[in-house]
Amino acid sequence: MTCERRTLARRGERDAVRFLKKSGYRILAKNYTCPMGELDIVASRDKVLSFVEVKTKSGTSQHPEEAVGPSKQRKLASVADFFIHTMRLDHLCCQFDVVAVNYDDRGRAHINHFPDAFEHP
């Protein structure tokens, strides 16, 4: 990943965290890593644990959320299972969310949240 894309991704994750907090979510972890991979954001609201994948694009008509295909879903599920087991959170309901952050030509963020975007594969 280029330095420019990494900077854009970090900005998207910061804006996603702000958006989720304003929506009533409590952020439990950011950039959680384990041997299986990484989770962008782990959040909770109303006793539901959300594993949030953030996809960020700039100045494009593409839909960032389309980048979370079956292979990525399996990887996220594997990391989420590790997180749940390690943190002993088996008692909570879980879901996988996608937050798509699209920056327009003026640099304004347009955020779409897709709660419960896919089932545990």
Higher pLDDT, 80 or 119: 80
Question: 3-118 in CATH: which number?
Answer: 3.40.1350.10
CB–CB of 44/91 below 8 Å? no
| Averaged pLDDT score across all residues of the chain | 91
pLDDT of residue 1: 66
Report the alpha-carbon distance of residue 75 to residue 57 in Å, rounded.
21
Q: Look at residue 57 and tell me whether its pLDDT is greater than 70.
A: yes
The pTM for the full model equals 0.91
Higher pLDDT, 120 or 65: 120
pLDDT of residue 19: 98
pLDDT of residue 61: 59
